[in-house]
Amino acid sequence: MSDALLVLNTGSSSIKFQVFRLHDDRLERQLKGLLDGIRVHPHLQVKDAAGAVRVDRDLGDHVDDVGAAVEQVLDVLEDELADGGLAAVGHRIVHGGQHFTGPARIDKETLAGIEALVPLAPLHQPNSIAPIRTIMKRRPGLPQVASFDTVFHHGHDELVDRFAIPAELDEQGIRRYGFHGLSYAFIAERLRAVAPDLAGKRVVVAHLGSGASLCALQGGRSIETTMGFTALDGLPMGTRPGRLDPGVPLYLMQQGWDAGRLEQMLYHECGLLGLSGISNDVRDLKKSADPRGQFALDYFAHRIAQETAMLATTMGGIDGFVFTAGIGERSASVRANVARRLAWLGMKLDPDANQADAALVSAPDSRIAVHVIPTDEEAMIARDTLAALDLPQRAVA
């Protein structure tokens, strides 16, 4: 049997993947890849553990959906893996609903449960299902495991997860779930290594990327988060609005908008893109001379600060703050913008450390310790996959 474990993290137009080798005491990262530009200009790049490029190629018109993209990834891995085989595949699944409270080995029943949740995550869930079906068809005997973004947030107090709606709707599962849980689980674990004195205290983690949310960690556990029933709630994101008066979609429906038009607007036309009219990419907004670009960035920071105060209320205070994900890890200006708005809570950054994307960016006299910690969702998926297959847990090297 091969000792290679494939992890797939699929998006609407890209697939991030990693291959780990199973050793006695660790999971060793062997390959890391990205296939992006699906349906437009598909391009595949694969690097080894040292960062050396193994594959770098345009794929022409051969990739018009996520399923076809997975076919390309599997073809490359058959060439790149010494024994040409895989022991298992782990998948990131955004929504696990109420039923899935841990990683699950995928069979027909599991897949049906994941598919039933498509209406709750229409932007993400179908793109996670397509690779599962592709692999089932191509390698029917290969074990596959679903690792859910919602699981880390299970166990919240009822005050946190309930909506103020009729009880029968709550019983149907209309409640807050939270997302980015794989990222938050990784950060909670890393905090124990990089800041053990902070790990058991009150910490807000900001996962800031194309999708964005905050999570309140207390004692290393999620006790509150900004996303809710779907991945639309909370912070404004690249193309999603975040918190929105429910009267807005009601009004638009009264103006003749149907569910499909609303879904298109809410998932693809709002957020930084909607505010700026320029781009959903922070890098583009920072470069733009159009004042709407800076307005969108200020709005983003303003909402992050507001939601942080909300989470601090739940925790009864705040001792630490962690920036993670693409924007959080690499945008010093966004971090500084947020910190200025949280100065009243005692947050103060060291400008030089922040500009250098240092691991600790707070000033010595900051009441709140501010860290920058790169996230690694794929590592958590790999470990979830081992757990679901009843294999011994291993640290990721």
pLDDT per residue over 142-176, tens digit each? 999 999 999 999 989 999 999 999 999 999 989 99
Structure tokens at 41: 């200009």
Q: Are residues 254 and 356 part of one domain? A: yes
Residue whose C-alpha is closest to residue 174's, from 159, 161, 155, 160: 161
Give every CB contact of residue 162 below 8 A, 6+ residues apart in sequence.
170, 175, 176
Cα gap 391→377, rounded to integer Å: 19
Q: Is the domain of 101 the same as that of 200?
A: no
In a domain, 386, yes or no: no
Report the distance separating Cα 8 and Cα 13, nearest Å.
Answer: 13
List pLDDT tens digits, range 365-374.
999 999 999 9
- Measured in whole angstroms, the distance separating CA 77 from the mean position of its chain's CA atoms is 25
Question: Taking Cα atoms as reference points, which of 387, 377, 396, 397 lies closest to residue 187?
Answer: 377
pLDDT at position 283: 92
Note down the domain range covering 47.
4-148
Residues 210 and 290 in one domain: yes
Residue 300, pLDDT > 70, answer yes
Which pLDDT score, from 0 to 100, does residue 340 have?
98
CATH number at residue 253: 3.30.420.40
Q: Do strands 202-208 and 144-148 pair parallel, antiparallel, or not at all (unpaired)?
A: unpaired
Q: What is the pTM of this model?
A: 0.91
* Number of compact structural domains in the chain: 2
The residues assigned a catalytic role are 149
Q: Which tens digit of pLDDT belongs to each residue from 99-122?
A: 899 999 999 999 999 999 998 888
Do residues 141 and 224 share a domain? no
Mapping DSSP to helix (H, G, I), strand (E, B) and coil, where does residue 118 land? helix
State the chain's mean pLDDT as an integer. 91
Q: Is the pLDDT of residue 1 over 50?
A: no
Do 52 and 135 fall into the same domain? yes
Please give the pLDDT value at position 121: 84
**Same domain membership, residue 297 and residue 205:** yes
Could you give the 3-state DSSP secondary structure of residue 19? strand
185 in a domain, yes or no? no
How far apart are alpha carbons 230 and 352 in whole angstroms? 38
How is residue 353 written in tokens?
């450390």
Angular region, 322: left φ>0, alpha ψ -120 to 50, beta rest: beta
Would 316 be classed as within a structural domain? yes
Does the residue 379 lie in any domain? no
Question: Given 130, 148, 166, which residue is the final one in a domain?
Answer: 148
Q: For residue 362, what is the DSSP state? A: B
**Boundary-marking domain end, from 83, 116, 148:** 148
Q: Is pLDDT above 90 for 124?
A: no
Residue 209 and residue 136 share a domain: no
Co-location of 241 and 100 in the same domain = no
